[in-house]
Amino acid sequence: MIRTKTVLMAMVAGALLHPLMAADSYEVDASHTGLGFTIDHLGFSNFQGRFNEISGSGTWDNDDPSANSITLNIKASSVDTANEKRDKHLRSPDFFDSNQFPMITFESSSFKSLGGADYEVTGSLSMHGVTKEITIPLTKVGEGDNPWGQHVIGFDTRFSINRMDYGINYMPDGLGKEVKLHLSLEAVRQ
């Protein structure tokens, strides 16, 4: 009788805890993750660059999108436009001020399924000492085991922000206010 009660209690506890334990933990695979940006340059071109150092973590549950989360950390000084002089200027107080604000971060607060592989993610984007809530589209590209036995999940998103919202005001008439971002991300289950 005592054993039956113990087994029943364990089954009930397991059922109650299952939703809390269902989401798997992931770490961003920095070598297969990229964040690029595009900005108008003097009305002549759509200039492109990228950030080379990205880390982060999250949780993923295919059955319960509300259990999903992501945190990204982008090293501001890793900005790369293939021109050292320009990159040094982008790290300066005119732009990212990477000495004072070394990290650009995104931390999700909610995931919403839009059907199929598409999601809407809301969270806080912090850059240049300013934090704003944004909502971005997110597409799950794929999930499965890679050739080395790791379980991997991948996502892609394209969205825009207004750099003025984050206090990056240099050359307001020469550089576009809208910055288009493209994040392609892979993460490995832990």
pLDDT digits (tens, 9 = 90+) for 91-137: 999 999 999 999 999 999 999 999 999 999 999 999 999 999 999 99
Q: Tell me, yes or no, whether 132 lies in a domain.
A: yes
Per-residue pLDDT, 22? 75
**Segment 35-41 mean pLDDT:** 98
Host H or E run for residue 13: helix 2-21
Which CATH number belongs to the domain containing residue 54 in this structure?
A: 2.40.128.110
Asked whether residue 48 is assigned to any structural domain, the reply reads: yes
Please, what is the average pLDDT of the chain? 92
Q: Give the C-alpha separation, 45 to 39, whole Å.
A: 8
**How many domains are contained in the chain?**
1
Q: Are 185 and 152 in contact (CB under 8 A)?
A: no
Residue 9 lies in a domain: no
The share of the chain scoring above pLDDT 90, in percent, equals 88
Inside any domain, residue 70: yes
Flag whether 177 is in a domain: yes
- Give me the pLDDT at residue 135, please: 98
Closest CA to 49 of 179, 187, 186: 179
pLDDT of residue 8: 45
Classify residue 118: in a domain, yes or no.
yes
Output the six-digit token pair for 131. 């934090």
Q: Which two tokens stand for residue 26?
A: 């992931």
Residue 186 confidence class, pLDDT cut points 50, 70, 90: very high
In a domain, 123, yes or no: yes
Q: Quick one: pLDDT at residue 2?
A: 55
**Average pLDDT score over residue span 160-173:** 97
Helix %, strand %, coil % of the chain (to 5):
20, 55, 25
Report the distance separating Cα 127 and Cα 145, nearest Å.
34
CA distance readout (Å), 24 to 21, 49, 106, 152, 187: 8, 33, 20, 11, 11
Task: Please indicate, yes or no, if residue 55 is contained in any of the structural domains.
Answer: yes
- Mean pLDDT over residues 151-162, rounded? 98
Give the domain extent around 59. Answer: 23-189
Residues 6+ apart with CB under 8 A from 140: 117, 118, 119, 153, 154, 155
